[in-house]
Amino acid sequence: MKLPREFYNRPTLDVARDLIGKALVHVTPAGRASGLIVEVEAYIGEADPACHAAPGPTKRNAPLYGPPGIAYVYFNYGMHYLVNAVTEGVGAPAAVLIRALEPVEGMALMRKRRARGTQKRAADFDQNGLCRGPGNLTKALGISLPQNGLDLTGAELFIETSPVARDFPIAWGPRIGISVGTEQAWRCFVPGHPCVSGRAALNALRPPLADVASTR
């Protein structure tokens, strides 16, 4: 079941939590590639210094200001594309960054895409690492600028409940790779999952924060 627009039209932290265990799917002429979401981060509003909306509306962050359920894809560090799901209502700029997936469909295609432009061969990639990290998963799924602004309720790029989904434990911690806004525990992940990015210490199960993500 594809997630409807109302799913995204909610408080961003709720959307972030509920995205764990759902499947991100990209359909292209080369085939279908998908994976279960096991790590996300929330970026919420102009008051969040780490959110791209912090400077106010610009050409780049325009999708954040639009309706929920839209893909916000941007280019970073000169070589990586990062994909977000826009949340909350029009004029409330917020989104959930997808940081890691457990590969489900199209692993051969993912390997091929990951190897593109490198010295490595497709077979060199470990399956658990195919979609570990926000830059890696967009490369594996073939997501880049043409996918920016796509409707996540559409047919090309969407998020759905998966038949392979199961209940995951979840935990919250500080967001990774930012220099401001680190006091917020707005990174949501599956502790101990082999496809989650970041250091082991960051990903340890914190007992008071342990919870279970819903499959629905």
One DSSP character per residue, 106-154 reads -HHHHHHHHHTTSSS-GGGS-GGGTTBSHHHHHHHHT-SGGGTT-BTTS
Quick note: the x/- pattern for DNA over 87-126, rule CB under 7 A, is: --------x-x-----------------------------
Q: Which 35-74 positions form the footprint of DNA (CB under 7 A)?
A: 41, 43, 50-52, 55, 58-61, 64, 72
CB-based burial label for 58 (10 Å; 0-12, 13-18, 19+) = exposed
- Confirm or reject binding of residue 157 to DNA (CB under 7 A): no
Alpha-carbon distances, residue 108 vs 29, 74, 78, 187, 204 (angstroms): 14, 25, 26, 29, 30
Q: Which stretch binds DNA (CB under 7 A): 20-28, 75-83, 152-160, 186-194?
A: 75-83
- Beta pairing partners, 147: none
Residue 103 contacts residue 162 (beta carbons within 8 Å):
no
Q: Which residue number, 155 or 180, has a Cβ lying nearer to DNA?
A: 180
- Confirm or reject binding of residue 12 to DNA (CB under 7 A): no
The residue from 169, 177, 209, 211 that contacts DNA (CB under 7 A) is: 177
With vertex at residue 140, the alpha carbon angle to CA 24 and CA 38, rounded to the nearest 5 degrees, is 45
- Confirm or reject binding of residue 82 to DNA (CB under 7 A): yes
Q: Which residue number, 145 or 155, has a Cβ lying nearer to DNA?
A: 145
Residues at the contact surface with DNA, assessed by CB under 7 A: 41, 43, 50-52, 55, 58-61, 64, 72, 75-80, 82, 84, 95, 97, 129, 132-137, 175-179, 197, 199-201
